[in-house]
Amino acid sequence: MADTIAVLLVDEDTDVLELTQTFLELEDDTISVTTETSARDALDRLESESFDCVVSDYSMPSMSGIEFLQEVRDRVPGLPFFFFTGKDREEVETEAGDIEITGHVRKGTGTERYGELADEIRSAVERS
């Protein structure tokens, strides 16, 4: 595994992006987060830069989380992909169907969710 885990974080809410980036990088100093506010811009980033993991919101205005997941799978098969969203895991997995989702962490109050997400990212990157 590389010394740094490059994470592409996608959410239309800039406050959520900043908070998530801050806490992930505080939870694990090997995590380096790049943020995008649109799935389309994130796909452009994936074309020009290398990432170890993608973390995305599920409900986005320009492209659904599932559409984004499919585009990521088409471009970079096997890249760890997590949903960080307010949606239930079952709802997301049902919508995704056969498209592989590496993991799901539910947004909410409290900072423990960021620790859980950092642990999930680290584990997935180590396995890939």
pLDDT value at residue 1:
46
Identify the three-state secondary structure at position 28.
Answer: coil
pLDDT per position as a tens digit, 75-120:
999 999 999 987 777 787 777 778 888 888 888 778 889 999 999 9
Crossing angle of the two packed helices 14-27 and 112-127, in degrees rounded to 10: 70
The span from the CA of 122 to the CA of 73, in Å, is 20
pLDDT at 2 over 80: no
**Structural contact between residues 88 and 106, judged by C-beta atoms closer than 8 angstroms:** yes
84 strand-pairing partners: 105
pLDDT per position as a tens digit, 21-60:
999 999 999 999 999 999 999 999 999 999 999 999 998 8
What is the per-residue DSSP string for 74-110? HHSTT--EEEEESS-HHHHHHHHTTS---EEEE--SS
Domains of the chain as residue ranges with CATH = 5-127 (3.40.50.2300)
The whole model's pTM is what?
0.91
Report the alpha-carbon angle 88-40-42, nearest 5.
75
Report the alpha-carbon angle 114-120-123, nearest 5.
140
